[in-house]
Structure 1
Protein backbone atom coordinates (compact mmCIF):
# COMPACT_ATOMS: atom_id res chain seq x y z
CA UNK A 1 0.00 0.00 0.00
CA UNK A 2 1.28 3.44 -0.88
CA UNK A 3 1.74 5.87 2.01
CA UNK A 4 1.91 9.03 -0.06
CA UNK A 5 -1.22 10.44 1.57
CA UNK A 6 0.34 9.94 5.00
CA UNK A 7 3.46 11.81 3.90
CA UNK A 8 1.27 14.64 2.62
CA UNK A 9 -0.70 14.83 5.87
CA UNK A 10 2.45 14.93 7.98
CA UNK A 11 4.03 17.57 5.75
CA UNK A 12 0.87 19.66 5.92
CA UNK A 13 0.84 19.43 9.71
CA UNK A 14 4.47 20.51 9.84
CA UNK A 15 3.74 23.51 7.63
CA UNK A 16 0.75 24.50 9.77
CA UNK A 17 2.72 24.17 12.99
CA UNK A 18 5.49 26.30 11.50
CA UNK A 19 2.96 29.00 10.71
CA UNK A 20 1.65 28.90 14.28
CA UNK A 21 5.01 28.98 16.05
CA UNK A 22 7.68 31.67 15.52
CA UNK A 23 10.42 30.40 13.22
CA UNK A 24 12.87 31.73 10.64
CA UNK A 25 10.95 34.40 8.82
CA UNK A 26 10.58 35.32 5.15
CA UNK A 27 8.90 38.71 5.29
CA UNK A 28 6.00 38.17 7.72
CA UNK A 29 5.55 34.48 6.81
CA UNK A 30 7.04 31.55 8.70
CA UNK A 31 9.27 29.04 6.97
CA UNK A 32 7.62 25.59 6.97
CA UNK A 33 9.47 22.45 8.01
CA UNK A 34 10.33 20.39 4.94
CA UNK A 35 11.31 16.72 4.95
CA UNK A 36 11.09 15.03 1.55
CA UNK A 37 10.12 11.35 1.41
CA UNK A 38 12.40 8.59 0.19
CA UNK A 39 11.53 6.28 -2.68
CA UNK A 40 10.59 3.62 -0.15
CA UNK A 41 8.17 6.00 1.57
CA UNK A 42 6.68 7.14 -1.72
CA UNK A 43 5.86 3.64 -2.92
CA UNK A 44 5.27 2.02 0.49
CA UNK A 45 8.17 -0.44 0.29
CA UNK A 46 8.84 -0.47 4.02
CA UNK A 47 10.94 1.63 6.36
CA UNK A 48 13.95 -0.65 5.93
CA UNK A 49 14.27 0.12 2.20
CA UNK A 50 16.99 2.69 1.40
CA UNK A 51 16.43 5.84 -0.65
CA UNK A 52 17.97 4.11 -3.66
CA UNK A 53 15.55 1.21 -3.28
CA UNK A 54 16.06 0.22 -6.90
CA UNK A 55 19.55 -1.08 -6.04
CA UNK A 56 18.01 -4.19 -4.48
CA UNK A 57 15.76 -4.90 -7.47
CA UNK A 58 16.61 -7.53 -10.07
CA UNK A 59 16.08 -5.01 -12.84
CA UNK A 60 15.50 -1.30 -12.43
CA UNK A 61 12.74 0.38 -14.45
CA UNK A 62 13.93 2.87 -17.05
CA UNK A 63 12.45 6.37 -16.97
CA UNK A 64 12.40 7.80 -20.49
CA UNK A 65 10.41 11.02 -20.15
CA UNK A 66 9.13 13.46 -17.57
CA UNK A 67 6.83 16.37 -18.47
CA UNK A 68 6.08 19.23 -16.09
CA UNK A 69 3.23 21.64 -16.91
CA UNK A 70 3.34 20.78 -20.60
CA UNK A 71 6.96 21.92 -20.77
CA UNK A 72 6.04 25.50 -19.84
CA UNK A 73 7.26 27.62 -16.93
CA UNK A 74 4.94 27.67 -13.90
CA UNK A 75 3.77 31.21 -13.17
CA UNK A 76 1.89 32.28 -10.04
CA UNK A 77 0.47 35.56 -8.83
CA UNK A 78 -0.20 36.64 -5.26
CA UNK A 79 -3.26 34.66 -4.18
CA UNK A 80 -4.63 32.17 -6.70
CA UNK A 81 -3.34 28.62 -6.47
CA UNK A 82 -2.38 26.76 -9.63
CA UNK A 83 -2.79 23.07 -10.40
CA UNK A 84 -0.40 21.70 -13.01
CA UNK A 85 -0.26 18.39 -14.87
CA UNK A 86 2.86 16.23 -14.58
CA UNK A 87 3.73 12.84 -16.05
CA UNK A 88 6.47 10.24 -16.09
CA UNK A 89 6.97 7.61 -18.80
CA UNK A 90 8.94 4.46 -18.01
CA UNK A 91 9.38 0.80 -18.91
CA UNK A 92 10.10 -2.50 -17.19
CA UNK A 93 9.59 -6.17 -18.19
CA UNK A 94 6.81 -6.39 -15.58
CA UNK A 95 5.20 -3.13 -16.71
CA UNK A 96 4.69 0.06 -14.68
CA UNK A 97 1.93 0.41 -12.07
CA UNK A 98 2.69 3.67 -10.29
CA UNK A 99 4.66 6.87 -10.75
CA UNK A 100 5.69 9.82 -8.63
CA UNK A 101 6.85 13.37 -9.30
CA UNK A 102 7.51 16.25 -6.95
CA UNK A 103 9.27 19.60 -7.21
CA UNK A 104 11.73 20.86 -4.64
CA UNK A 105 13.89 23.94 -4.18
CA UNK A 106 17.33 23.98 -2.63
CA UNK A 107 20.92 22.93 -3.26
CA UNK A 108 20.91 19.46 -1.68
CA UNK A 109 17.99 17.12 -1.07
CA UNK A 110 19.51 15.81 2.17
CA UNK A 111 20.56 19.07 3.79
CA UNK A 112 19.10 22.08 1.96
CA UNK A 113 15.43 21.95 0.94
CA UNK A 114 13.51 25.19 1.44
CA UNK A 115 10.59 24.49 -0.89
CA UNK A 116 8.67 21.34 -1.83
CA UNK A 117 5.39 20.51 -3.59
CA UNK A 118 4.07 16.97 -4.10
CA UNK A 119 1.31 15.24 -6.10
CA UNK A 120 -2.34 15.52 -5.14
CA UNK A 121 -2.95 11.85 -5.89
CA UNK A 122 -1.95 8.97 -3.62
CA UNK A 123 -1.47 6.75 -6.69
CA UNK A 124 -0.72 7.95 -10.23
CA UNK A 125 -3.03 7.24 -13.17
CA UNK A 126 -0.88 4.98 -15.37
CA UNK A 127 -1.78 4.18 -18.99
CA UNK A 128 0.16 1.43 -20.74
CA UNK A 129 1.33 1.88 -24.32
CA UNK A 130 2.70 -1.69 -24.36
CA UNK A 131 3.19 -4.63 -22.01
CA UNK A 132 6.35 -3.00 -20.67
CA UNK A 133 5.82 0.77 -20.98
CA UNK A 134 3.39 3.18 -19.34
CA UNK A 135 2.87 6.89 -18.78
CA UNK A 136 1.78 7.83 -15.27
CA UNK A 137 -0.06 11.13 -14.81
CA UNK A 138 -0.54 13.23 -11.69
CA UNK A 139 -1.38 16.80 -10.68
CA UNK A 140 0.41 19.17 -8.32
CA UNK A 141 -1.24 22.20 -6.72
CA UNK A 142 0.98 25.15 -5.77
CA UNK A 143 -0.20 27.90 -3.42
CA UNK A 144 1.49 31.33 -3.29
CA UNK A 145 2.09 32.54 0.26
CA UNK A 146 2.09 28.94 1.55
CA UNK A 147 4.17 26.70 -0.71
CA UNK A 148 5.73 29.86 -2.11
CA UNK A 149 6.29 31.62 1.19
CA UNK A 150 9.29 33.72 0.11
CA UNK A 151 10.30 35.45 -3.11
CA UNK A 152 13.65 33.65 -3.15
CA UNK A 153 11.76 30.51 -4.22
CA UNK A 154 11.27 32.00 -7.69
CA UNK A 155 13.47 30.43 -10.34
CA UNK A 156 14.79 26.90 -10.88
CA UNK A 157 13.36 23.93 -8.95
CA UNK A 158 14.54 20.32 -9.02
CA UNK A 159 12.26 17.57 -10.30
CA UNK A 160 12.11 14.26 -8.41
CA UNK A 161 10.79 11.35 -10.49
CA UNK A 162 10.12 7.72 -9.71
CA UNK A 163 8.17 4.69 -10.90
CA UNK A 164 7.14 1.36 -9.45
CA UNK A 165 7.24 -1.74 -11.68
CA UNK A 166 4.44 -4.29 -12.01
CA UNK A 167 6.26 -6.68 -9.67
CA UNK A 168 5.72 -3.98 -6.99
CA UNK A 169 9.35 -4.39 -5.90
CA UNK A 170 11.47 -2.82 -8.63
CA UNK A 171 11.78 0.94 -8.34
CA UNK A 172 13.55 3.72 -10.23
CA UNK A 173 13.82 6.98 -8.31
CA UNK A 174 15.94 10.14 -8.40
CA UNK A 175 15.63 13.51 -6.74
CA UNK A 176 17.58 15.13 -9.58
CA UNK A 177 15.85 13.94 -12.75
CA UNK A 178 15.49 17.43 -14.29
CA UNK A 179 14.55 21.00 -13.43
CA UNK A 180 11.53 23.28 -13.85
CA UNK A 181 10.98 26.99 -13.31
CA UNK A 182 8.44 28.61 -10.99
CA UNK A 183 8.06 32.34 -11.63
CA UNK A 184 6.46 35.44 -10.11
CA UNK A 185 3.62 36.74 -12.30
CA UNK A 186 4.48 40.07 -13.96
CA UNK A 187 2.34 42.98 -15.11
CA UNK A 188 3.04 46.05 -17.24
CA UNK A 189 0.88 49.08 -17.99
CA UNK A 190 1.11 51.86 -20.58
CA UNK A 191 -0.39 55.28 -21.19
CA UNK A 192 0.56 57.54 -24.10
CA UNK A 193 -0.43 61.22 -23.86
CA UNK A 194 -1.64 63.70 -24.95
CA UNK A 195 -4.47 62.23 -27.00
CA UNK A 196 -5.09 63.48 -29.64
CA UNK A 197 -1.77 65.08 -30.60
CA UNK A 198 -0.57 67.17 -33.51
CA UNK A 199 1.73 65.51 -36.03
CA UNK A 200 5.40 66.00 -35.18
CA UNK A 201 4.72 66.82 -31.54
CA UNK A 202 6.10 64.93 -28.56
CA UNK A 203 4.11 62.38 -26.60
CA UNK A 204 4.99 61.05 -23.17
CA UNK A 205 4.61 57.34 -22.60
CA UNK A 206 4.30 56.22 -18.98
CA UNK A 207 3.66 52.89 -17.34
CA UNK A 208 4.76 50.50 -14.62
CA UNK A 209 6.42 47.09 -14.49
CA UNK A 210 5.47 45.05 -11.42
CA UNK A 211 5.50 41.44 -10.25
CA UNK A 212 3.97 39.28 -7.55
CA UNK A 213 5.47 39.54 -4.09
CA UNK A 214 4.70 36.19 -2.43
CA UNK A 215 5.81 37.46 0.97
CA UNK A 216 3.31 40.34 1.13
CA UNK A 217 0.58 39.09 -1.22
CA UNK A 218 0.80 42.25 -3.33
CA UNK A 219 2.38 43.40 -6.59
CA UNK A 220 5.56 45.45 -6.26
CA UNK A 221 7.51 47.44 -8.85
CA UNK A 222 10.25 45.50 -10.64
CA UNK A 223 13.19 47.86 -10.58
CA UNK A 224 16.11 48.37 -12.94
CA UNK A 225 14.72 46.21 -15.74
CA UNK A 226 15.10 46.83 -19.47
CA UNK A 227 11.72 47.39 -21.13
CA UNK A 228 11.05 48.05 -24.81
CA UNK A 229 8.81 50.86 -26.03
CA UNK A 230 7.10 49.61 -29.17
CA UNK A 231 4.83 51.13 -31.80
CA UNK A 232 2.62 49.91 -34.65
CA UNK A 233 0.80 52.00 -37.20
CA UNK A 234 -2.97 51.87 -37.27
CA UNK A 235 -2.74 50.23 -40.70
CA UNK A 236 -0.19 47.61 -39.60
CA UNK A 237 -0.29 44.44 -37.52
CA UNK A 238 3.39 44.51 -36.57
CA UNK A 239 5.03 46.29 -33.67
CA UNK A 240 8.56 47.69 -33.95
CA UNK A 241 10.83 48.67 -31.08
CA UNK A 242 11.36 52.43 -30.80
CA UNK A 243 13.73 52.42 -27.83
CA UNK A 244 14.65 50.50 -24.68
CA UNK A 245 14.45 52.11 -21.24
CA UNK A 246 14.87 50.91 -17.65
CA UNK A 247 12.25 50.84 -14.92
CA UNK A 248 13.07 53.17 -12.03
CA UNK A 249 13.38 52.40 -8.30
CA UNK A 250 9.62 51.81 -8.00
CA UNK A 251 9.15 50.06 -11.33
CA UNK A 252 7.80 53.15 -13.09
CA UNK A 253 8.40 53.65 -16.82
CA UNK A 254 8.57 57.01 -18.58
CA UNK A 255 9.95 58.25 -21.88
CA UNK A 256 9.06 60.46 -24.83
CA UNK A 257 8.60 59.92 -28.55
CA UNK A 258 7.56 61.86 -31.63
CA UNK A 259 4.03 61.37 -32.91
CA UNK A 260 4.04 61.05 -36.69
CA UNK A 261 1.07 58.83 -37.53
CA UNK A 262 -1.97 57.24 -35.90
CA UNK A 263 -1.04 54.09 -34.03
CA UNK A 264 -0.60 52.05 -30.88
CA UNK A 265 2.10 52.37 -28.23
CA UNK A 266 3.03 49.66 -25.74
CA UNK A 267 5.72 48.48 -23.33
CA UNK A 268 7.16 44.97 -23.63
CA UNK A 269 9.30 43.15 -21.04
CA UNK A 270 11.36 40.13 -22.14
CA UNK A 271 11.35 38.47 -18.72
CA UNK A 272 14.04 36.98 -16.47
CA UNK A 273 14.64 33.57 -14.90
CA UNK A 274 12.33 34.49 -12.02
CA UNK A 275 9.75 36.58 -13.88
CA UNK A 276 7.92 35.84 -17.16
CA UNK A 277 7.70 38.00 -20.24
CA UNK A 278 4.80 40.44 -20.33
CA UNK A 279 3.51 42.95 -22.88
CA UNK A 280 0.93 45.69 -22.39
CA UNK A 281 -2.06 46.08 -24.68
CA UNK A 282 -1.40 48.92 -27.13
CA UNK A 283 -2.60 52.43 -26.25
CA UNK A 284 -3.95 54.22 -29.34
CA UNK A 285 -2.91 57.78 -30.12
CA UNK A 286 -4.79 59.84 -32.70
CA UNK A 287 -2.34 62.04 -34.63
CA UNK A 288 -3.94 65.09 -36.29
Structure 2
Protein backbone atom coordinates (compact mmCIF):
# COMPACT_ATOMS: atom_id res chain seq x y z
CA UNK A 1 0.00 0.00 0.00
CA UNK A 2 1.25 3.50 -0.68
CA UNK A 3 0.28 7.13 -0.43
CA UNK A 4 1.44 10.28 -2.14
CA UNK A 5 0.11 13.72 -2.95
CA UNK A 6 -1.86 13.93 -6.17
CA UNK A 7 -3.63 16.45 -8.31
CA UNK A 8 -6.96 17.97 -7.41
CA UNK A 9 -10.03 15.79 -7.69
CA UNK A 10 -11.25 17.64 -10.77
CA UNK A 11 -8.22 16.37 -12.71
CA UNK A 12 -8.30 12.80 -11.41
CA UNK A 13 -10.37 11.26 -14.19
CA UNK A 14 -8.20 12.74 -16.92
CA UNK A 15 -5.02 11.68 -15.16
CA UNK A 16 -6.20 8.11 -14.83
CA UNK A 17 -7.44 7.87 -18.40
CA UNK A 18 -4.24 9.26 -19.90
CA UNK A 19 -1.95 6.51 -18.65
CA UNK A 20 -1.74 2.77 -18.27
CA UNK A 21 -1.97 2.53 -14.52
CA UNK A 22 0.43 -0.35 -13.79
CA UNK A 23 3.35 2.02 -14.54
CA UNK A 24 2.55 3.71 -11.20
CA UNK A 25 1.55 0.63 -9.23
CA UNK A 26 4.39 -0.52 -6.99
CA UNK A 27 4.95 -2.53 -3.85
CA UNK A 28 3.34 -1.47 -0.62
CA UNK A 29 4.80 1.33 1.44
CA UNK A 30 4.81 1.46 5.21
CA UNK A 31 1.27 1.56 6.56
CA UNK A 32 0.05 4.95 7.71
CA UNK A 33 -2.65 5.33 10.31
CA UNK A 34 -4.69 7.84 8.31
CA UNK A 35 -4.51 6.14 4.91
CA UNK A 36 -7.50 4.87 2.96
CA UNK A 37 -8.50 1.24 3.50
CA UNK A 38 -10.54 -0.98 1.17
CA UNK A 39 -12.91 -3.82 2.00
CA UNK A 40 -15.87 -5.82 0.69
CA UNK A 41 -14.32 -6.04 -2.78
CA UNK A 42 -16.53 -8.16 -5.07
CA UNK A 43 -16.14 -8.78 -8.82
CA UNK A 44 -19.04 -9.97 -10.99
CA UNK A 45 -21.15 -10.73 -7.94
CA UNK A 46 -18.55 -13.28 -6.81
CA UNK A 47 -19.11 -15.48 -9.88
CA UNK A 48 -16.48 -16.77 -12.32
CA UNK A 49 -16.22 -15.04 -15.69
CA UNK A 50 -16.34 -17.71 -18.40
CA UNK A 51 -15.39 -16.47 -21.87
CA UNK A 52 -15.64 -18.14 -25.25
CA UNK A 53 -14.00 -16.81 -28.39
CA UNK A 54 -16.28 -13.80 -28.91
CA UNK A 55 -17.97 -13.46 -25.52
CA UNK A 56 -18.84 -9.92 -24.43
CA UNK A 57 -19.71 -9.20 -20.82
CA UNK A 58 -20.25 -6.22 -18.56
CA UNK A 59 -18.18 -6.68 -15.42
CA UNK A 60 -18.92 -4.80 -12.21
CA UNK A 61 -16.57 -4.27 -9.27
CA UNK A 62 -18.00 -3.10 -5.95
CA UNK A 63 -16.01 -2.11 -2.88
CA UNK A 64 -15.98 -0.03 0.30
CA UNK A 65 -13.41 2.73 0.79
CA UNK A 66 -12.78 4.32 4.19
CA UNK A 67 -10.57 7.28 5.04
CA UNK A 68 -10.51 9.39 8.25
CA UNK A 69 -10.56 12.52 6.07
CA UNK A 70 -13.38 11.23 3.87
CA UNK A 71 -13.15 9.80 0.35
CA UNK A 72 -13.22 12.32 -2.51
CA UNK A 73 -12.82 9.75 -5.30
CA UNK A 74 -12.06 6.06 -5.66
CA UNK A 75 -11.28 3.66 -8.49
CA UNK A 76 -10.58 -0.04 -9.03
CA UNK A 77 -9.41 -2.26 -11.88
CA UNK A 78 -8.33 -5.84 -12.59
CA UNK A 79 -4.80 -6.89 -13.41
CA UNK A 80 -3.03 -10.15 -14.24
CA UNK A 81 0.62 -11.05 -13.90
CA UNK A 82 3.41 -11.37 -11.33
CA UNK A 83 3.02 -7.75 -10.17
CA UNK A 84 1.46 -4.51 -11.37
CA UNK A 85 4.68 -3.29 -13.02
CA UNK A 86 4.85 -6.45 -15.14
CA UNK A 87 1.14 -7.01 -15.67
CA UNK A 88 0.24 -8.75 -18.93
CA UNK A 89 -3.44 -7.88 -18.63
CA UNK A 90 -5.40 -4.85 -17.38
CA UNK A 91 -9.17 -4.44 -17.35
CA UNK A 92 -10.33 -1.90 -18.20
CA UNK A 93 -7.26 -0.52 -19.97
CA UNK A 94 -8.17 3.04 -18.97
CA UNK A 95 -9.87 2.67 -15.58
CA UNK A 96 -12.56 5.26 -14.85
CA UNK A 97 -13.29 6.68 -11.42
CA UNK A 98 -15.95 4.68 -9.62
CA UNK A 99 -19.36 5.92 -8.60
CA UNK A 100 -19.26 6.32 -4.82
CA UNK A 101 -21.95 6.98 -2.24
CA UNK A 102 -20.99 8.38 1.17
CA UNK A 103 -22.52 6.56 4.12
CA UNK A 104 -25.13 8.64 5.90
CA UNK A 105 -24.11 7.06 9.20
CA UNK A 106 -20.36 7.41 8.68
CA UNK A 107 -18.98 10.20 6.43
CA UNK A 108 -15.54 8.54 6.40
CA UNK A 109 -16.92 5.53 4.50
CA UNK A 110 -18.07 5.29 0.88
CA UNK A 111 -19.48 2.37 -1.10
CA UNK A 112 -18.25 2.39 -4.69
CA UNK A 113 -18.96 0.69 -7.99
CA UNK A 114 -17.50 0.63 -11.47
CA UNK A 115 -18.72 -1.27 -14.54
CA UNK A 116 -16.87 -1.90 -17.79
CA UNK A 117 -17.11 -4.02 -20.92
CA UNK A 118 -14.99 -7.14 -21.49
CA UNK A 119 -14.62 -8.49 -25.02
CA UNK A 120 -12.87 -11.86 -25.29
CA UNK A 121 -11.78 -11.25 -28.88
CA UNK A 122 -10.21 -7.93 -27.95
CA UNK A 123 -8.99 -8.40 -24.37
CA UNK A 124 -7.88 -12.05 -24.23
CA UNK A 125 -5.24 -12.83 -26.83
CA UNK A 126 -3.34 -15.59 -25.02
CA UNK A 127 -4.46 -18.56 -22.98
CA UNK A 128 -2.23 -17.77 -20.00
CA UNK A 129 -4.69 -15.01 -19.09
CA UNK A 130 -7.09 -17.68 -17.83
CA UNK A 131 -7.17 -18.05 -14.05
CA UNK A 132 -6.96 -15.65 -11.13
CA UNK A 133 -6.83 -11.88 -11.65
CA UNK A 134 -6.30 -9.36 -8.86
CA UNK A 135 -8.13 -6.17 -7.99
CA UNK A 136 -6.20 -2.93 -7.43
CA UNK A 137 -8.18 -0.31 -5.55
CA UNK A 138 -7.24 3.32 -5.11
CA UNK A 139 -8.70 6.44 -3.59
CA UNK A 140 -8.13 10.15 -3.11
CA UNK A 141 -9.15 11.69 0.18
CA UNK A 142 -10.51 15.18 0.74
CA UNK A 143 -7.01 16.53 1.51
CA UNK A 144 -5.72 15.43 -1.94
CA UNK A 145 -3.64 12.48 -0.65
CA UNK A 146 -4.09 9.21 -2.50
CA UNK A 147 -3.65 5.58 -1.68
CA UNK A 148 -3.48 2.50 -3.88
CA UNK A 149 -3.50 -1.12 -2.73
CA UNK A 150 -2.34 -3.61 -5.33
CA UNK A 151 -4.36 -6.59 -4.10
CA UNK A 152 -7.73 -5.98 -2.48
CA UNK A 153 -9.60 -8.90 -4.04
CA UNK A 154 -9.56 -11.44 -6.85
CA UNK A 155 -11.57 -12.48 -9.89
CA UNK A 156 -11.49 -15.65 -11.98
CA UNK A 157 -11.54 -15.62 -15.78
CA UNK A 158 -12.02 -19.03 -17.40
CA UNK A 159 -12.00 -20.45 -20.90
CA UNK A 160 -15.38 -21.73 -22.05
CA UNK A 161 -15.68 -25.52 -22.53
CA UNK A 162 -17.91 -27.70 -24.69
CA UNK A 163 -18.66 -31.41 -24.30
CA UNK A 164 -20.61 -33.64 -26.69
CA UNK A 165 -22.11 -37.13 -26.31
CA UNK A 166 -23.37 -39.96 -28.50
CA UNK A 167 -24.67 -43.29 -27.15
CA UNK A 168 -25.08 -46.27 -29.51
CA UNK A 169 -26.46 -48.56 -30.77
CA UNK A 170 -30.00 -47.21 -30.83
CA UNK A 171 -32.20 -49.14 -30.16
CA UNK A 172 -30.42 -51.78 -28.09
CA UNK A 173 -31.44 -55.00 -26.39
CA UNK A 174 -31.48 -55.05 -22.60
CA UNK A 175 -28.19 -56.32 -21.17
CA UNK A 176 -26.18 -55.48 -24.27
CA UNK A 177 -23.24 -53.09 -24.29
CA UNK A 178 -23.76 -49.42 -25.04
CA UNK A 179 -20.78 -47.43 -26.28
CA UNK A 180 -20.78 -43.77 -25.30
CA UNK A 181 -18.48 -41.38 -27.15
CA UNK A 182 -17.96 -37.64 -27.16
CA UNK A 183 -15.41 -34.86 -27.11
CA UNK A 184 -14.26 -32.24 -24.61
CA UNK A 185 -12.99 -28.99 -26.07
CA UNK A 186 -12.33 -25.49 -24.77
CA UNK A 187 -11.86 -22.03 -26.19
CA UNK A 188 -8.34 -21.41 -27.44
CA UNK A 189 -7.95 -17.63 -27.35
CA UNK A 190 -4.72 -17.82 -29.34
CA UNK A 191 -5.99 -19.85 -32.31
CA UNK A 192 -9.56 -18.55 -32.26
CA UNK A 193 -10.98 -22.09 -32.22
CA UNK A 194 -12.18 -24.70 -29.75
CA UNK A 195 -9.46 -27.32 -29.25
CA UNK A 196 -9.33 -30.67 -27.46
CA UNK A 197 -8.86 -30.70 -23.69
CA UNK A 198 -6.89 -33.83 -22.83
CA UNK A 199 -6.45 -35.82 -19.58
CA UNK A 200 -9.43 -34.30 -17.77
CA UNK A 201 -12.02 -36.17 -15.68
CA UNK A 202 -15.50 -36.25 -17.20
CA UNK A 203 -18.53 -37.89 -15.62
CA UNK A 204 -20.84 -40.23 -17.53
CA UNK A 205 -24.35 -39.75 -16.19
CA UNK A 206 -27.68 -41.49 -16.87
CA UNK A 207 -31.27 -40.38 -16.41
CA UNK A 208 -33.99 -42.99 -16.60
CA UNK A 209 -36.96 -42.15 -18.83
CA UNK A 210 -39.65 -40.47 -16.77
CA UNK A 211 -37.17 -39.26 -14.14
CA UNK A 212 -35.66 -35.79 -13.73
CA UNK A 213 -32.55 -36.93 -11.87
CA UNK A 214 -29.21 -37.87 -13.41
CA UNK A 215 -26.97 -40.44 -11.69
CA UNK A 216 -23.21 -40.62 -12.21
CA UNK A 217 -22.23 -44.04 -13.59
CA UNK A 218 -18.47 -43.55 -13.86
CA UNK A 219 -15.72 -41.02 -14.47
CA UNK A 220 -13.58 -41.24 -17.59
CA UNK A 221 -10.54 -39.28 -18.72
CA UNK A 222 -10.47 -37.34 -21.97
CA UNK A 223 -7.95 -38.68 -24.47
CA UNK A 224 -5.97 -37.21 -27.32
CA UNK A 225 -7.82 -34.26 -28.82
CA UNK A 226 -10.29 -34.38 -25.93
CA UNK A 227 -11.94 -37.60 -27.16
CA UNK A 228 -14.21 -39.48 -24.77
CA UNK A 229 -15.15 -43.15 -24.99
CA UNK A 230 -16.55 -45.66 -22.52
CA UNK A 231 -19.07 -48.49 -22.28
CA UNK A 232 -21.99 -49.41 -20.04
CA UNK A 233 -24.76 -52.00 -19.96
CA UNK A 234 -28.25 -51.31 -21.31
CA UNK A 235 -30.74 -51.53 -18.45
CA UNK A 236 -33.66 -49.26 -19.30
CA UNK A 237 -34.77 -46.47 -21.60
CA UNK A 238 -33.07 -43.21 -20.76
CA UNK A 239 -30.60 -40.45 -21.45
CA UNK A 240 -26.82 -40.48 -21.32
CA UNK A 241 -24.70 -37.37 -20.97
CA UNK A 242 -21.12 -36.31 -20.22
CA UNK A 243 -20.50 -33.69 -17.52
CA UNK A 244 -17.28 -31.69 -17.14
CA UNK A 245 -17.12 -29.83 -13.83
CA UNK A 246 -14.37 -27.40 -14.86
CA UNK A 247 -10.92 -26.46 -13.61
CA UNK A 248 -9.18 -23.36 -12.31
CA UNK A 249 -8.76 -22.10 -15.87
CA UNK A 250 -11.74 -23.65 -17.68
CA UNK A 251 -15.47 -23.38 -17.09
CA UNK A 252 -17.87 -26.34 -16.69
CA UNK A 253 -19.92 -27.90 -19.47
CA UNK A 254 -22.75 -30.42 -19.67
CA UNK A 255 -23.80 -32.22 -22.84
CA UNK A 256 -27.46 -32.50 -23.77
CA UNK A 257 -28.75 -35.99 -22.93
CA UNK A 258 -28.72 -38.59 -25.74
CA UNK A 259 -31.72 -40.95 -25.55
CA UNK A 260 -31.31 -44.70 -25.94
CA UNK A 261 -34.29 -47.01 -26.49
CA UNK A 262 -33.76 -50.29 -24.63
CA UNK A 263 -35.90 -53.20 -25.82
Please classify the TM superposition score into its range, dividing by the shorter chain length.
0.7 to 0.9
**Aligned pair partner of 2:136 in 157, 160, 163:** 160
Asked if structure 2 preserves the Cα contact closer than 8 Å seen for 1:270 and 1:278, the reply is yes
Q: Which residue of 1 aligns with 2:3?
A: none
Displacement, 1:66?
0.6
In 2, Cα distance between the equivalents of 1:193 and 1:53? 64
Structure 2: segments with no counterpart, 5+ residues: 1-9
Displacement, 1:168?
4.9
Q: Which residue of 1 aligns with 2:203?
A: 228
In 2, Cα distance between the equivalents of 1:58 and 1:239? 56
In 2, Cα distance between the equivalents of 1:246 and 1:6? 51
The answer as to 2:219 corresponding to 1:244 is yes
**Aligned pair partner of 1:114 in 69, 79, 88:** 88
Asked if structure 2 preserves the Cα contact closer than 8 Å seen for 1:58 and 1:170, the reply is no
Q: Which residue of 2 aligns with 1:129?
A: 103
Large movers: runs of 4+ above 3 Å: 2-11, 50-55
TM-score norm. by structure 2 comes to 0.85
Q: When the two structures are aligned, how many residues end up with a matched partner?
A: 252
The answer as to 2:75 corresponding to 1:105 is no
1:187-206 pair list within 5 angstroms: 187-206=162-181
Task: Name the SS for the 1:146 alignment partner.
Answer: helix
Asked if structure 2 preserves the Cα contact closer than 8 Å seen for 1:100 and 1:119, the reply is no
In 1, Cα distance between the equivalents of 2:120 and 2:227? 25
What's the CA shift string for 1:76-102, capped at 9, x where partnerless? 110122221111112234433322111
Asked if structure 2 preserves the Cα contact closer than 8 Å seen for 1:7 and 1:37, the reply is no
Asked if structure 2 preserves the Cα contact closer than 8 Å seen for 1:101 and 1:118, the reply is no
Change (3 A) 1:149 1:186: same
In 1, Cα distance between the equivalents of 2:188 and 2:202? 20
In 1, Cα distance between the equivalents of 2:121 and 2:155? 19
Structure 1: segments with no counterpart, 5+ residues: 12-34, 40-49
1:77-96 pair list within 5 angstroms: 77-96=52-71
Displacement, 1:120?
6.8
The higher relative CO (CA closer than 8 Å, separation ≥ 6) is in 2
In 2, Cα distance between the equivalents of 1:277 and 1:163? 36
In 1, Cα distance between the equivalents of 2:245 and 2:157? 16
In 2, Cα distance between the equivalents of 1:144 and 1:5? 26
What's the CA shift string for 1:133-185, capped at 9, x where partnerless? 221110132222432111111111121112233x1524331112232211101
In 2, Cα distance between the equivalents of 1:119 and 1:113? 11
Higher strand share: 2
